[in-house]
Structure formats: C-alpha cells, structure tokens
Structure 1
C-alpha cells in the first residue's frame, strides 16, 4: 500500500445537506453525538471479531477490544478512540465523504427542518458520525486498518463546511481515533461527570468496555476507569434488565430514537440453543418500501457478531422487526449462502416468526390503542403474510384490521372476530368489497342490498387487498364473499320475490333478449336483479373469474391482464330501466342500453375506455 499524500475533496451534496441539518436543527438533543460515536466504535470491534475468525493475526498486540475517551481542557478537545477494524484510505473516502443509500437525496429534501423528526432519523442512514459537528467546529480522524502497517494510517480533517482533507499518517496501533475540537459554547463536554452520565444513559449495554481517562492530581498518574456494564445485554437474565435498558439497547441496535412498541427476550434450550431479542418499532422507517431497504436481524454465534441484516431469520412480511439472534448451533464461519439452506436457520426462522405473531396477538388483546398504532404503521406489510406464510395464516388473519360499514370512518379498526360476533342470523358468509378508495367502496351500488338488510360489509381499498383476499378463503369456518361477484348467498338475500315481481320479470323477458342482442359479446350475460334499490344497473363477475381490482394490479405491474367479462344486471323496478324497456326506436334503445352499461362500468372500474363517447351519449339523451 503506497502513500498517496494530501488531497482536499468535496463532500457529496447529500452529506452537505445532512451536515447543515446536524449543525442547525439538532441543537436541542446534542448529547447524541457521543452515543453515535461509541456505537460506531462498537460496530468496528464487532467487524474485527468477525474478520479475526478467518485471520486471528488481526488481533495481534493491541490488547482487549474497547473504547477509550479522554479530554484536553487546554486545547478544548474530546477524543474517542477504539482498537477495532480501522479503515483504509478508500474506506475513509467512502464512509466519511458519501452516503450510499439510494433515495437519500429525495428524503433529505422532504424532511425540511422538523427537529424532532430529524433527530430520530440521523442513525437510520448509518451516518451518526456527522453528529460530531453538532458540538465541534473541527473534527480530526486518524485511522489504521487492521491489515495496514504503522505508516499506512490515514488522517481525515474537516470543519463540516463542504470539504475535507485526507492525508497520510502514522499510527502505532490499529483502530480509529476521533478528536473533536469543541465549539466555544460546548465546553460542558469536557466535564468528566457530564461524559459519564451520557455514557451511562446511552451506552451501558454495549458489550465492550468504555473507559474514561482520569489523571491523579498529585502523582499525575494516568488511569482508565470503565464506565459501562460492558456485558452483552441479551446474555443477562431478563429479571435483571430494566425497561429503560431494553429501550436504550433498541436505540443502539436500530438507530431509531422512537421507543419500541413492544419486545420479547427469550432464551431457548434443548434440541436447539439460542437467544432471541426481538423488537417491534413504533414507527415505520422512511425507506420501508424501497427495494434496497435493509431488514433482518443481527446474527451472533456464541456472542460473536457475524452479520447485520440477516434476513434469513425473518420472513419478508415481518421486515419491520428489529433485533438479534444469538445461536449456539451455527458454525462461527457461517455465510449467507450456508444460512440460506440450513435446517437450523429454517427452525430459527419459524420460531422467530411465531414469537413475533404471539407478541402482536398479546398486544392486540391487552392494549387496543397500541395495537392500532402498530396497524397504522405496519398493517400494509403484515397483509403480505396471508400469501407468504401458509403455516401462520389463521393467526395473521386474526391480526388483520378493516374499515367496514359498521363504522362511519375509513379507520381500519374492525377485527374479523368482531365481524363474526355481529353477523346477522342466518348469514353464512363474511362479505367484503375491494375498490380504489374508501369512498368508492363505501358508496358502491353493490352495497345497496346489504344496507337495506343491515348486513355489515368490510370495505377494502389498499392496493394489496385484492391479492390478500385471493389468499384468504375463510375465517373461523365462514367463507369470504366479494359483494361484486354474483353468488347464491347474495341472490338468496335479494330473492324475496312477490307474485307481482315475478309477473314484471316475465313481461321484461323480451327486453332482456333485446339488450343481449344490442350488447353482443361486450358482456358475458344480461339478467335482472333484485339486489339494487337506487341504482339502475351493475356489473358483476362470477366466482373464479378475474376481478376488476386484480386486473388493475396486473396493469400496475406492467403485465397484460385477461379482459374482464362482466355480467350486466338490471334493476327491473328502476324508472330508467323501465324507460329503456319502453323505447321502441332501435337507435334510441341502443343509446339507453349503452348509457346504463357505461354507468355500471364507471361505478365498478372508476374509469371508462371511451369517456368522450359516454358524455356524448348522456348529452344526446338529455337533449331529448
């Protein structure tokens, strides 16, 4: 590795924006800088432990892994040093000059300067290092990679104003040393007691010792004093861990500064031995729908950190879960490829999934308000589980929440168990409708019969809902039934014909044949229906046929969906249907029939293939 001299480089524009945000918006919570820098030091130690599994020589000669902190009151500097993995010149440029996450720029522009939100999001980028500039007007980093020689260290310096210098340096030991030149009004961070209180508050649970330098007044002897407990939190007994410690550990683990909603800490012994500590966040991360959103648990094997974001232990629909798993049954040199096919992995994944679902079930029973908060943030993701996790489909269905005609609100609060308890006498099925929006579902003509009969209908308007319902066939022995499909149970509800109605239907038989002739293969069938009160006509599909919403899903995914062929159902007692039936002129009759079909299609699909033709038709008939 040859020395490359000194160069000055500009920060990537996202870093400039982030630095501006750090320096100007996060002033109210400035002590977080120390937590972030200690957290980074802990990660550097974890990475060294992992690399040393293959190359034990990396540990050579630099003592026990740990973090050391000291101040120089005369120079107004605070230094945080670790003897972890260290960085090469290229890694320094990559880690301290750029933010690699896609979507960062758009995100930074969108958050403005909402202080509370900003401070919660710092660590989600993995850029907590820049929080040093909240308290420092100059930062110097000297780092030496574990694989480098003493004269191959690197020095990075910046005043946080748009550029940094990088130069060759000499460092006798591996690791990273960060020196903050504190601003004039930040001298409180030179105070020993202040630093100790921050370390105890935020970094007590970190598994490597954090030591502060003390100097004996008389003898001037330098001593190091450990400030934190320095025992991996998940290895301690649950009874000895306070809620505050669990919350602080969650912050360290997830870089999310909202408190977790709920957590579960379990040690399992027997055939398989492992410890899991799983958290459910209270807020969804900003990039949860990004394709490169990292998810999964931290994996430890016998307390040695192995990898971040090990998604093999958590199904995709539980990608919001944070936490770790520490296994005694996996080899220390385990790789992602080995994890993919391992029987141990499969068992751990099943156990973790079950544990999370049980946590949610408990939350839903014991704290409806908190569960509702969870559903608002993560309900859409949980819905994916109906098609992904066949083994747990029943418990996932229990956790689903819906808007329904029972409440006059678009809030998804209705559980399927509540729906079943309210079912009308003789009601055989759970009725639902899918639509583009809550309003479109609520005011759909398909609901007229159900309103009249006082039967509750679930109103589904999220894009994923149609796909979800294709995977949910029944709950507690009751089948699901879409009200936009023709079905015997719906016919039975509507079918209370009087002799008068039967007579009217008989008289309209020639009219139905005439409509069939006019429409030809535009529709699958034409029939009369008694399920409507205020609407002249609707279109329906049959069980097993492509639905409107499913066709829209195909289109949104850029795939060609088969054309939906509808049954055209007419309300025999509606004045417009009677008007059409009485029309003798063939051209006028065709206009009336097409108008009624287009109205029904518009209500069903929310759009028409040829809206201008529909408008012309309406205007023409209005003129008459």
Structure 2
C-alpha cells in the first residue's frame, strides 16, 4: 500500500533536459536499454561492495541478476535488478535533481546540437554528462521506478511522464533492488520496424550492447517443445570478460560497446589498450583513451580511476590508485589475481603491487601516444592531434607530479611556438635550433597574442630564435620542475639576464653602462617601490623598456594563481630593463642630466614603468592616476 504520496516539481535544469530528451531526434533509440541495463549492473556491483564494507548487512549475493519483462498487451517493458536499491531521499536526489556542475553548459550544447540536427552530437553529450536514465523518455510516455534499498524495510515508488513534475510515494512491500517500468509510446510503423515488447528485438539489443555484462540478463521466452508452447527463462548475454578473451576473438565493436558501458560515453574511444602481466604478480588490463574530454576533467571533486576486479569479481568502481591523476581521463578495467577480495581503498593506497601496476599502466598509455607520434600514418597523426587537443593540459600536470615519467611526457608534449604552424614537439624544436643557441626558450602568458607582442620577444625575433609560447596555467609550474629536455635547459625569456648576441662589443657595452649609469640610478630611486633594480637590456630592439624577473622568481601569472587559491605571498619586486637605443630612453638620459629635479621627469618615469606593465598584460596598481598622467602628457605635446 502506498503512503506519503507527494507530487514534486523537477529541478529547472532537469525539466529542461527532459524536454530536450523527449523532443530531440535520435539516430538510434535502442541505446535507452543499454543505459538502463548498465545502471542495473552498477546496482548489483554496489551491493557486492556494500556487503564487503558492512558485515552486518543481511543480503543474498548468490544470484545477482538483471531481469527483463515485456508485456505486449500493456505495452510495458520492465528492467529489474536485485542490487543495492535506493532510499526515498536518493530517488529524489538522483532522479528529480541533476546535482552536477556543468548542467547549464550541457543544456546549451544540447540545444545547439538539436537545432543543427546533430543527433550523434546529442548522444555524445548525454553520455558525457552521465544522465542515461533520462534516455528512457525517448521511448516511453511514462516511467515508473519501484525500489527498495538493501537493509531497509520500506520501498519507494517514483513516476513521471517526463513533463514538469513527478510523484513519489512510500510502499510497504517490494523486493530488494530496483524495477524500472517503461510505459512505451504507441508503435509507429513508419518510425520503427519492430517494437520493444518483442523478444527478438530485446535479445538483439542486449547481444549488441550488453553481451559482456558480468551479471546474467534474463528474460522469460516462449519456445515450442513437442508441438507444445512452453515458457522458459533465457540468459540473453554471454557474460564473457572481454579482457580475458584472446585478442583475435574480440571485435572493435565489442570493445567500443564495453567502453560505453563502463564510461557512460556515447562516442567510440580514441584507442583501446590491452596489457597482460605474468610472473610473480599477474593481472590483465583493458584500457580506453576517450575521444573527447569529459566535462568534469578539471573539476576538483570529480571521481576518476579504472575499475578493479580480483579474479573476475568486481571490487571497486573508481580505483584512483591504479591511474595517476594526470591520466584521470583513462577508463578501463584491471583484473588482478593476487589481491584480497575485501581489499579496501586504504590498503590500495599503500599496496606496493598496486603502485607497480600504476607505473606500468601509465607507461603503457604514454607509450601508446608516443607510437602515434613516431608513426608515418596520417591516421595516427590525427589521433595524436586529437588526443593532445583534448587532454594535453591534464597530461602536463604529470611533469610536476610524476618525476619517473617526466621524460616520457616531455617526449609526447606539444606547444605553440613562434615558428611552428599549430603546435610543435620538443624534438622538432631541437631539430630547428641553430648551432649558436644554447637553451630551449619559452615565454608564459595569458594568451598567444599577448606573448607574441611582448617586448621580451624582440631580440629573439630579430635573431631568428624560436620561443615556445606557454599559455596554460600548469605551464607556470612544470617548466621549473622539468628543468631540461635532452640536455637543453628550459630558459624563460622574461627571467634572468638574456644575451642573444655573444659577439657583442664588450667595450661598447661598458661605455654604455657608464653613459647611462646616472639615469639607471635615478630611475631606481624613482621606482624603488615598484622595482628592485634598473639595468640596460640586451633583449629589446624596438620597445623602450620591459620588466623581467630574477632567474628563480615567481612569475606574475604564478603569483596570481597562488593568490586565487588563498595563499598569501610576500611582495616580489622585479627588474626594469631599458633599451639604450630607444629615442625615449635617450631623451630621458639627456633631460635628467640637464634638469634632474624637474617633476615632469618623475612623471615620465612613472609612465615608462606603467607602459611596460601593460605591455606584458599586467595590471596597474593605480589605473586612474596612470590615465590622468598620460592624458596630461598627451595634451602638453599637442
């Protein structure tokens, strides 16, 4: 008997999403069954995990299964499992609300894909955001969910037609687990050649999409025996673990469907990787590199990791200990032979065998990417470009966190530069280096445009030396950690002293130091609160001045990053370099020697410093004052 019946409104985002699901055009609606079976399989796995964690939980694990029940007369299809089930609150939170970051982004992209009739794009987005349950409304007018959580005595009934509201009620009795009943839309002969109440249709979909599910998927079917019609229970899936089958027996299509099952992605993976380790510690791995980055790739609380099995028994959904953080986008399965079935996350974090597996899995993924780079095939080159475009920023985190694989990561990394079209690898950069260039030069910045127009670039551009342009926030971190590549040191062109002209006349340089010593000392006094030193520059050709840091100073971008994270830093003053060949600097030297106490000169020094800050994309401490000084100076010069 139902009690506590409530009618609730969907969360606004969920309501919008449902409307898009119901009214969008899909190339293949069959995938709704794959998603619901996948959810049921997850519920069975979670029950097994919960039984390991809670020894007092009284549950029967002897016959975990998924049952499909079709009723052609009533036009219903039920997907039932005897898994973990859901409480009333969980039903509301998991179905009535999309409690995920990025929902607004998802809705916007879904609308764009729908308006452009990009059905495949819509499917990929839905899978990407993990909302497969809602696909039921593609084929059903009404969806009913009856669920009882393991360990609880009452059940919950949820029902909705996919419009603006749903009903939820408490039931006195129901079997443990979850039953999702779809009240199917009327059959449309023009739209469907078959319907979802027919055994042949259901069997075909299960064998196509869910054959590898490790739990039996059962359905009662009619058979003819001795001229009599009898009803039998048939297991529709083979339940064969793909990673345990010989490579030649598994098709690409089967691998792709398995990937979609474990990742809830709708797109095929970019690459499938198999690995088998034998000896004192045996395990098998089946890994997938997605074709697109998940929406939560850079979300702090997002779960990541691969599935862990022990002797074909599912142990853990997101085993982060098996995959380093910078490869968090990799999906897959690892099946170990020698771990305990009741292994905990805490034990995993300390287990030496797990650490060894992680190292080997990471090396295998990096080696796979490297093989694309080394290949002459255009298909592999396109794979690499797609991979780096989607995941390069995350992979570069490993340059900071994974010292053992740092060289391997540098070997597959690509960066924008002043010479290459698109991006360049470090190997290609080294091949283009002239003989008189000692270091790999780089410049960090907020954007390519800001970096390319930076005064720091001038001497390098004139010299013809290539400079890497690094614009990702993580670039500020790894260049110091990496240090060098293939014996060549990474050198910022905005830090330390840089001299691109080794054949410069030393006597002339000394003479200039003497000529400008008075101006340099005076500028140092005028700008003492802003800079710690003023010196002549060897890196400028057309700009009057630029600001640089000492070799080991934090960059302005890195300082802003730390401050955004709430980490206070001491005030770090930088160095002002002036161009002795620029007309403005020459005029300042002459004016200072003639009238050193002129207040207009102090304003000129302030303006000079402000323009250098703006030139590198920085922020002025007092923009209104700078604007006023500049306007006054322009007015006096007209």
Query: Do the structures match in fold with TM over 0.5?
Result: yes
* Farther off after superposition, 591-600 or 567-576: 591-600
Q: d(CA) in 2 for partners of 1:561 and 1:495?
A: 40
Q: Counterparts in 2 of 1:16-55, with a 5 A limit? A: 16-53=15-52, 54=55
Query: Is 2:388 the counterpart of 1:375?
Result: yes
Q: Hey, what does 1:394 align to over in structure 2?
A: 407
Q: d(CA) in 2 for partners of 1:56 and 1:466?
A: 50
| Secondary structure of residue in 1 paired with 2:527 | helix
Q: Hey, what does 1:177 align to over in structure 2?
A: 179
| Secondary structure of residue in 2 paired with 1:189 | coil
Q: Hey, what does 1:515 align to over in structure 2?
A: 523
Deviation at 1:240, TM superposition (A): 1.4
Q: Hey, what does 1:564 align to over in structure 2?
A: 572
Deviation at 1:573, TM superposition (A): 1.6
| Secondary structure of residue in 2 paired with 1:312 | helix
Deviations 1:446-498 (A, max 9, x none): 111111111101011222211121212111011111001233xx325266138
Deviation at 1:209, TM superposition (A): 2.7
Query: Is 2:278 the counterpart of 1:269?
Result: yes
Deviations 1:123-165 (A, max 9, x none): 445442222121111223334445467xx55443332231124
Give the direction of change, closer, same or farther, for the CA distance of 1:511–1:71 in structure 2 (3 Å limit): closer
User: Normalized against structure 1, the TM-score is what?
Assistant: 0.91
Task: Indicate which of 188, 203, 207 corresponds to 1:200.
Answer: 207
Deviation at 1:505, TM superposition (A): 4.8
| Secondary structure of residue in 1 paired with 2:229 | coil
Q: Hey, what does 2:627 align to over in structure 1?
A: 615
CA contact 2:79–2:180 (8 Å) conserved in 1: yes
Give the direction of change, closer, same or farther, for the CA distance of 1:33–1:343 in structure 2 (3 Å limit): same
Q: Hey, what does 2:191 align to over in structure 1?
A: none
| Secondary structure of residue in 2 paired with 1:121 | helix
Query: Is 2:618 the counterpart of 1:606?
Result: yes
For this pair of structures, how many residues does the alignment match?
Answer: 612
Deviation at 1:232, TM superposition (A): 1.9
Q: Hey, what does 1:292 align to over in structure 2?
A: 301
* Farther off after superposition, 209-218 or 384-393: 209-218
CA contact 2:65–2:81 (8 Å) conserved in 1: yes
Q: d(CA) in 2 for partners of 1:464 and 1:435?
A: 11
Query: Is 2:484 the counterpart of 1:474?
Result: yes
Q: d(CA) in 2 for partners of 1:495 and 1:371?
A: 41
Give the direction of change, closer, same or farther, for the CA distance of 1:470–1:502 in structure 2 (3 Å limit): closer
Q: d(CA) in 2 for partners of 1:58 and 1:45?
A: 11
Query: Is 2:15 the counterpart of 1:8?
Result: no
Q: Hey, what does 1:122 align to over in structure 2?
A: 126
CA contact 2:26–2:123 (8 Å) conserved in 1: no
Q: Hey, what does 1:163 align to over in structure 2?
A: 166
Q: Hey, what does 2:117 align to over in structure 1?
A: none
Q: d(CA) in 2 for partners of 1:52 and 1:526?
A: 69
| Secondary structure of residue in 2 paired with 1:7 | strand
Q: d(CA) in 1 for partners of 2:515 and 2:149?
A: 91
Give the direction of change, closer, same or farther, for the CA distance of 1:11–1:199 in structure 2 (3 Å limit): farther
Query: Is 2:465 the counterpart of 1:455?
Result: yes
Q: d(CA) in 2 for partners of 1:31 and 1:452?
A: 61
Give the direction of change, closer, same or farther, for the CA distance of 1:548–1:493 in structure 2 (3 Å limit): farther
Deviation at 1:46, TM superposition (A): 1.9
Give the direction of change, closer, same or farther, for the CA distance of 1:546–1:602 in structure 2 (3 Å limit): same
Q: Hey, what does 1:83 align to over in structure 2?
A: 82
Give the direction of change, closer, same or farther, for the CA distance of 1:183–1:577 in structure 2 (3 Å limit): same
Deviation at 1:45, TM superposition (A): 2.3
Query: Is 2:313 the counterpart of 1:309?
Result: no
Give me the CA root mean square deviation.
Answer: 2.6
Deviation at 1:80, TM superposition (A): 2.4
CA contact 1:548–1:564 (8 Å) conserved in 2: no
Q: d(CA) in 1 for partners of 2:386 and 2:586?
A: 51
Deviation at 1:167, TM superposition (A): 4.3
CA contact 2:129–2:295 (8 Å) conserved in 1: no
Give the direction of change, closer, same or farther, for the CA distance of 1:155–1:563 in structure 2 (3 Å limit): closer
Give the direction of change, closer, same or farther, for the CA distance of 1:229–1:530 in structure 2 (3 Å limit): same
* Farther off after superposition, 535-544 or 505-514: 505-514
* Farther off after superposition, 490-499 or 518-527: 490-499
Give the direction of change, closer, same or farther, for the CA distance of 1:392–1:587 in structure 2 (3 Å limit): same
Q: d(CA) in 2 for partners of 1:595 and 1:92?
A: 63
Deviation at 1:191, TM superposition (A): 3.0
Q: Hey, what does 2:351 align to over in structure 1?
A: 342
Deviations 1:535-568 (A, max 9, x none): 1112222211232222222232233333232222
Q: Hey, what does 1:190 align to over in structure 2?
A: 197
Deviations 1:369-393 (A, max 9, x none): 2111111111111111111111111
Give the direction of change, closer, same or farther, for the CA distance of 1:596–1:77 in structure 2 (3 Å limit): same
CA contact 1:546–1:562 (8 Å) conserved in 2: no
Query: Is 2:551 the counterpart of 1:552?
Result: no
CA contact 1:405–1:458 (8 Å) conserved in 2: yes
Give the direction of change, closer, same or farther, for the CA distance of 1:91–1:607 in structure 2 (3 Å limit): closer
Deviation at 1:196, TM superposition (A): 2.5
Q: Hey, what does 1:239 align to over in structure 2?
A: 248
Give the direction of change, closer, same or farther, for the CA distance of 1:472–1:294 in structure 2 (3 Å limit): same
| Secondary structure of residue in 1 paired with 2:98 | coil
CA contact 1:530–1:572 (8 Å) conserved in 2: no
Task: Indicate which of 331, 337, 340 corresponds to 1:322.
Answer: 331
Deviation at 1:252, TM superposition (A): 0.2
| Secondary structure of residue in 1 paired with 2:228 | coil
Q: d(CA) in 2 for partners of 1:177 and 1:613?
A: 69
CA contact 2:127–2:264 (8 Å) conserved in 1: yes
Query: Is 2:143 the counterpart of 1:139?
Result: yes
Q: d(CA) in 2 for partners of 1:405 and 1:397?
A: 19
Query: Is 2:589 the counterpart of 1:581?
Result: yes
